[in-house]
Structure 1
Amino acid sequence: MAALRRGLIWTLLVVALVAVVTATAVERLRRPEPPPVFDPVPAFSLTNRDGRTVRLQDLKGKPWIADFIFTRCPASCPLMTARMARLNRELPDDLDVRLVSFSVDPEHDTPQALQRYAESYKAPVRWLFLTGGKDEMYRLSRQGFKLGIDIPPPPAPGAPAPEPILHSTRFVLVDGQGRIRGYYDGFDEESMKKLVRDLEAVG
């Protein structure tokens, strides 16, 4: 009888162990694979649309999504900002994340101009619109985020005028430690879905 009880106990222990291992494996399958770690974002000190100074350390502790835009951009920026606004609406409520739009036209994009632009997209407080000196903004784009930015030459006679500032249309995911975790095509639906999955993995 004692041997039977011992056998039953061992059987129950094995069943429990298998259940734990199975549950752990299922949880790992459900959990998104963390995205790779790229370079850290360099320190910066910029001005938000409300006039408040925002530094890199102010953003640490929570993941954030960045893009580079300017308010008088005629083509790509309205689409990117509309995409960011859609992200703001559709992100899960339990994800504590910030949205950060950096201006590449700081000579025109004063905090007041950025505030008007943000209001036109019903941007909440967690969505920052940052501006600063031109050299700092260009350096942050090129060297910090590894995103191109340039002033195009004048168009040939009769040719359509390009955007006054050429810049990247990619979104960038930054984790709570200030490290870049991914780049995403702002005009590609699948790429943006991956952004949300990666955000959930690092959040």
Structure 2
Amino acid sequence: MQDAKATRLWILRGIAASLMVASAYIAWYSMSADRPRDFWQDKLKPQRANLLQFEGTFIDQEGKQVRLSDFANRNTISTFVFKDCGMSCPLIMNDLRLFHNDTPEFAKDGLFLIFTFEDHRANPEQLKDFLTRYHVTGNQWRVLTSDAETIRRLADTYALQYNKTIDGKLVYAHSNVFIVTDRKGRVTREFRGLDNNKARFFDEVKKSL
């Protein structure tokens, strides 16, 4: 009798844990670019503010203070992540890494700009660890963090949503986006969502550079 009660208790606990995980996943899934995660939005020459003209200072993974205007005369591919996100952020980083491997010429004068949704200025070495986790190296990779107000303004500039917690639970919900800019900071392409067709994604990014 006791064994049966214990078994039912473990089953109920398992169901409760599964529901918590499912609720967090649904929250993240529904916030991805305001559409389901697998809905691929591709905007050609979207009406967005010039990246180089954004006012604010950032800290990179080396602890160096930079402004986005410092990246003039370089094509950039930008994205936004939570450092500890284990859901869509690994997929975002994998897409960038695959693009880097597929397009080595981009590394010559292009930049991958990875903005964090959280303020990590006190520990920029965490940003370096973030890159190490995804096995990417080189000066063409920059992870940038700033104060909460600057991060919010930048996210609002590109109509991004993000939320680390919902009802006290860690969910790391956020829009998934890749923003391609030319050497003058003009946004030439914007990809929202995550595309399973990597060949198409790579080809469209190359066309935008």
TM-score, normalization by structure 2: 0.67
| 2: CA distance, partners of 1:182 / 1:49 | 26
CA drift of 1:186 comes to: 4.9
Distance 1:176 1:38, change over 3 A: farther
Contact 2:59 2:121 in 1 (8 A): no
Report the counterpart of residue 85 of structure 2 in structure 1.
Answer: 73
Share of identical aligned residues, percent? Answer: 20
Contact 1:169 1:186 in 2 (8 A): yes
Q: How does 1:114-129 map to 2 (within 5 A)?
A: 114-123=127-136, 124-129=138-143
| 1: CA distance, partners of 2:118 / 2:140 | 22
| 2: CA distance, partners of 1:37 / 1:88 | 24
| 1: CA distance, partners of 2:55 / 2:83 | 24
Render the CA deviation track for 1:112-134: whole Å, top value 9, x for unaligned: 11111111222222110001101
Report the counterpart of residue 27 of structure 1 in structure 2.
Answer: none
CA drift of 1:56 comes to: 1.3
CA drift of 1:107 comes to: 4.7
Render the CA deviation track for 1:30-79: whole Å, top value 9, x for unaligned: xxxxx425222223320100111221111111110111112111211122
Q: How does 1:33-112 map to 2 (within 5 A)?
A: 35-39=44-48, 40-41=50-51, 42-93=54-105, 96-107=109-120, 110-112=123-125
Letter of the structure 2 residue corresponding to residue 119 of structure 1 = T
In our comparison, the structure showing a higher alpha carbon Rg is: 1
| 2: CA distance, partners of 1:128 / 1:135 | 20
| 2: CA distance, partners of 1:113 / 1:38 | 34
| 2: CA distance, partners of 1:109 / 1:74 | 22
CA drift of 1:110 comes to: 2.9
Render the CA deviation track for 1:135-182: whole Å, top value 9, x for unaligned: 11121112x222122354316xxxxx451x321111111121112222
**2:174 aligned with 1:167, yes or no?**
yes
Contact 2:121 2:146 in 1 (8 A): no
Q: Which moved more, 1:97-106 or 1:39-48?
A: 39-48
TM-score, normalization by structure 1: 0.69
Report the counterpart of residue 166 of structure 2 in structure 1.
Answer: 153
Report the counterpart of residue 180 of structure 1 in structure 2.
Answer: 187
CA drift of 1:195 comes to: 4.9
Distance 1:70 1:179, change over 3 A: same
Q: Does the residue aligned with 2:45 lie in a helix, a strand or coil? A: coil
Name the one with the larger strand percent: 2
Contact 1:102 1:129 in 2 (8 A): yes
Q: How does 1:126-141 map to 2 (within 5 A)?
A: 126-141=140-155
Q: Which moved more, 1:103-112 or 1:52-61?
A: 103-112
| 2: CA distance, partners of 1:44 / 1:90 | 32
Letter of the structure 1 residue corresponding to residue 45 of structure 2 = P
| 1: CA distance, partners of 2:196 / 2:128 | 28
| 1: CA distance, partners of 2:109 / 2:205 | 10
| 2: CA distance, partners of 1:37 / 1:81 | 23
CA drift of 1:88 comes to: 1.4
